[in-house]
Amino acid sequence: MKPYFSEEASNLLRGLMEQDPSKRIGSSEEDAKEIMRHGFFATIDWLKLAKRELAAPFKPKITSDDDYKNFDPMFLNEDVKDTPADAIIDKKASNFDGFTFNADKMNIEMNHLRNHKL
């Protein structure tokens, strides 16, 4: 972890990157609630967030649709490389073996949150 990360941020990232799904934060029966209770998110009002009642903590000031001043020049100066999609897809290999994310389950959880059913 980077030395400038808070202890809460470091702890959360270690928990999210745990390879063993049974030990990974958010993989218990409590699911996302375990993550939501983590100290890193202590100041988040999840109900207001779900209802979109929280103001964004940062809104970049832009002058047009193609105003890129908020992007690091390192990324703007990179060469553009076009990789054909079929060149990067290896149907026999999977980079996500054992990956346990379930979008349907997450959507159900967010709908419960929006409806005060925590």
CATH number of the domain where residue 30 is located: 1.10.510.10
Q: How far apart are CA 65 and CA 118, in angstroms?
A: 39
Q: How many domains does the chain have?
A: 1
pLDDT score recorded for residue 107: 76
| Whether this model's pTM surpasses 0.75 | no
**Within-domain flag for 61:** no
* Owning domain of residue 15: 7-56+92-114
Share of the chain above pLDDT 90, in %: 45
pLDDT score recorded for residue 117: 47
Q: How far apart are CA 16 and CA 13, in angstroms?
A: 5
Mean pLDDT taken over the chain: 85
Query: What contacts 24+ positions apart, CB below 8 Å, involve 108-114?
Result: 109/31, 109/32, 110/50, 113/46, 113/47, 113/50, 114/50, 114/51
pLDDT score recorded for residue 51: 92
**Within-domain flag for 26:** yes
Q: How far apart are CA 107 and CA 110, in angstroms?
A: 5
**Within-domain flag for 76:** no
**Within-domain flag for 24:** yes
Q: How far apart are CA 110 and CA 46, in angstroms?
A: 10
**Within-domain flag for 81:** no
Q: Is the dihedral of CA 61, 66, 71, 72 positive or negative?
A: negative
pLDDT band of 25, cuts 50, 70, 90? very high
Q: How far apart are CA 9 and CA 38, in angstroms?
A: 10
49-105 pLDDT per residue, tens: 999 999 998 899 999 998 999 999 888 888 888 776 665 566 666 666 777 777 777
